[in-house]
Copies of this chain bind each other. A is one copy, B any other.
Amino acid sequence: MKKIFLAVLLSVIVAEISAQEVNNFRREHPVISPEIGDSTITFRLRAPEAQKVGLFAAFLNNNVDMVRNENGVWEFTTALPSPELYLYKFIVDGIQVCDPNNAFQQRDGVNYYSMVIIPGERTENYWESKSKHGTIHQIWYESPTLGITRRMYVYTPYGYESGNDSYPVLYLFHGAGGDEDAWTNMGRTRQIMDNLIEKGEAVPMIVVMPNGNPNQAAAAPLRIPTNRDFNPRDPKNADAYAHSVAKDIIPFVESHFRCKSEKQYRAVAGLSMGGGHTIAVSGLYPELFDYICPLSNGIRADQTTLERLDNLKSAGYKLYWLGCGSDDFLIQRANALDSTLTAKQMPHTYFKNDGGHTWNNWRLYLNTFAKLLFR
């Protein structure tokens, strides 16, 4: 009870101070958050009226309590985590709050998070490249296969608009809960591709990031209702999205952007649900892609899937690159895909690393397999 009495007392005292005095105080004592030191990171939130402030940070195993200092600023300092992009949020009296002193945010589905990038080798391609930046096009296309007008994001490399070259194309799919914004926003695709291309570590390419939810026109914040005539759970619609990639998306991209439109210049990759889309479209249309990269997904070795892999083997391909983390809840499926490809004598790379079903891994995978495409 002591704390509550103190809080009541403090709120009375605070009420005695004029708004002008509060504003002056804030200007003189700006809150810096997060503050990255040589070996520590500190999170801060000015919340003099809060009873309890906690911190969720993706590098902590559990939420932690923050400590209130005499100025009403809550703080938490811990050892600097390893280089990575981390999401975090404050929890103020039970409510999740983005850091008001950090405009660096990401949207994951319908949730917004503050974010911080810890510098290091792992994250060096997640920052803006030195000088050459590609363009993000938010463009709409007709999908007769799905019966709606839909939005996709298209990355074109630096120089696309000023030149006449044609480029190879990577089709890059998000997971369940994501949308056409996910790879650009959560995945830092533009920054990664800009850096790889600027350093000469990846071939300049176009990256197409469509919306993988077949009943959705575009990301939820645009507030366009989903297509109720289309039931994604109806078994007859199981491959509808894969068909729309082949029938709607690729023809649109190849007629609206300067693309090299042969198999050797097309790659497909996707994470989780998008890994499923990758496996489906490359099996249903084995003549389309020479580079196939499912991430954090794999197969149940059912008859349909096995037949599709046979189709792909007959058609041929240049690279089959599978990435999955050892803690990923889909690791068994990835292992099944790996062993099936081995049993079928289909050459492939299994990039098996630490970590789970997270964007930490998906950014790393893109940063890794993009160097291998179109070589």
Contacts and interface: CB of A to CB of B under 8 A. Distances in A.
Interface of A: 1, 4, 8, 45, 47-52, 90, 92-98, 100, 103-105, 107, 109-112, 127-128, 131, 133, 135-140, 149, 151, 158, 161-162, 220-224, 255-257
Given A112-B98, A136-B137, A140-B133, A221 B255 contact: no
Given A137-B136, A137-B137, A140-B135, A223 B98 contact: no
Given A103-B111, A137-B137, A140-B158, 17 more contacts: A47-B95, A50-B94, A50-B95, A51-B51, A51-B93, A92-B92, A92-B97, A95-B97, A98-B112, A127-B223, A128-B223, A131-B149, A136-B137, A136-B138, A138-B138, A162-B255, A162-B256
Q: Which of A93, A111, A112 is most buried by chain B, counting CB atoms within 10 A of its CB?
A: A93
How many copies of the shown chain assemble into the complex? 2
Contacts of A100: 95-96, 111
Contacts of A104: 221, 223
A264 to B, nearest CB: 25
A8 B111 CA distance: 29
Contacts of A257: 161
Q: Which of A103, A109, A136 is most buried by chain B, counting CB atoms within 10 A of its CB?
A: A103
A254 to B, nearest CB: 12
B137 A135 contact: yes
Contact of A95 (B45, B149, B220): B45
Nearest to A162: B256
Contacts of A4: 4, 8
A112 B105 contact: yes
B139 A138 contact: no
A52 B11 CA distance: 12
Given A112-B112, A161-B139, A128 B94 contact: no
A139 B132 CA distance: 11
Contacts of A135: 137-140
Contacts of A50: 93-95
Contacts of A111: 100, 103
Contact of A103 (B94, B128, B220): B220
Contacts of A49: 51-52, 93-95
Contacts of A112: 98, 105, 112
A49 B92 CA distance: 9
B103 A107 contact: yes
A50 B53 CA distance: 11
Given A103-B221, A107-B103, A47 B94 contact: yes
Contact of A92 (B95, B107, B136): B95
A96 B103 CA distance: 14
Contacts of A90: 95
A325 to B, nearest CB: 26
A369 to B, nearest CB: 25
Contacts of A95: 45, 47, 49-50, 90, 92, 95, 97, 100
A110 B52 CA distance: 25
